[in-house]
Structure 1
């Protein structure tokens, strides 16, 4: 019997048992296409690797190599899919930002609101800005301005009413 090199022997066994090896991976991991990829990768690696010592049970060795490669492929695919899922979520967040038209409309609204606040009486304007813009609690606004809590509430009612009236007069862009 002529001597066959170990590399050729493993390749010969791989070719002879190709379908069986693919089915083995498919049964374990569920996807025939990926099973073909795994077995193909092992074949390419065998062609590229240096010759090894003689293998007594080449089919068993191939099953072990292919199984290990399938696990590595499966883990790599899971990491890639997790990255894709994360990236898709990130892309949705980025895409949900308002477009230039909405940004322009928001700037117009802000300008109108600033104009409406500027038209408020001075004390009303102070109370409104401290509470609505700087988000100070009403009792703190009253304490800082030296006025009663009822006066703060009155100024806020007046300020809200006047600002809403002024904003409702402006044309709204979509």
Structure 2
């Protein structure tokens, strides 16, 4: 009797495994579908009264679909309950590396030096615009120069700073 049951289950597995896997792949994804198919076969195999099942392929399919629904519900619940903490996961750090920090410091020193070498009026215009976010019309009014002269000082300062940093 056990040999007959085993051969029936083996034949059922051979006939339905591919279709069940395809069905469950759409529901739970390709990573989890084979495991759920296997779990469904194990449940059917461990059922005591296999002979009483009128339609074994339909019973197996219903078992697999129920397991997939349970899996989906559990995954949804886990996603609500367990929020991944940025510090606890293995995600790359948002902090700059030591090399990046050193490079940024080096470039900042070069930029500061370039700003210090600008002509006084040019430096004043650049600092007011870039560091204090003063509009160009306001800079022109404060320094008693034309708006075109402010633009010219800014172009010179940006060009020199850019070439120094590169």
Paired residue for 2:54? 57
Q: Equivalent residues in 2 for 1:41-120 (5 A)?
A: 41-45=39-43, 56-57=53-54, 59=56, 60-69=58-67, 99-120=97-118
1:127 aligns with 2:141: no
From the superposition, tell whether residues 24 and 73 of structure 1 become closer, same or farther in structure 2 (CA, over 3 Å): farther
CA contact (8 A) 1:138 1:152 kept: yes
Structure 2: segments with no counterpart, 5+ residues: 76-90
Aligned residue number for residue 19 of structure 1: 14
Q: Is the 8 A contact 1:138 1:153 kept in 2?
A: yes
Q: What is the TM-score of this pair, normalised by structure 2? A: 0.55
CA distance in 1, matches of 2:144, 2:40: 82
Specify the alignment match of 1:4 in structure 2.
none
1:135, 1:26 → 2: CA distance? 62
Q: Cα gap change, 1:68/1:157 in structure 2, threshold over 3 Å: closer, same or farther? A: same
Query: 1:128 deviation in Å?
Result: 0.5
TM-superposed deviation, 1:69: 3.5
* CA distance in 1: counterparts of 2:147 and 2:30, whole angstroms: 73
RMSD of Structure 2 on Structure 1 (CA): 4.6
Task: Please report the TM-score for the alignment, with normalisation by the length of structure 1.
Answer: 0.53
> Following TM superposition, by how much is the alpha carbon of 1:114 offset from its aligned partner in structure 2, in angstroms?
0.7
Q: Give the conservation status (yes or no) of the 8 Å contact 1:124–1:158.
A: yes
Gap change, CA 1:161 and 1:63, over 3 Å in 2: closer
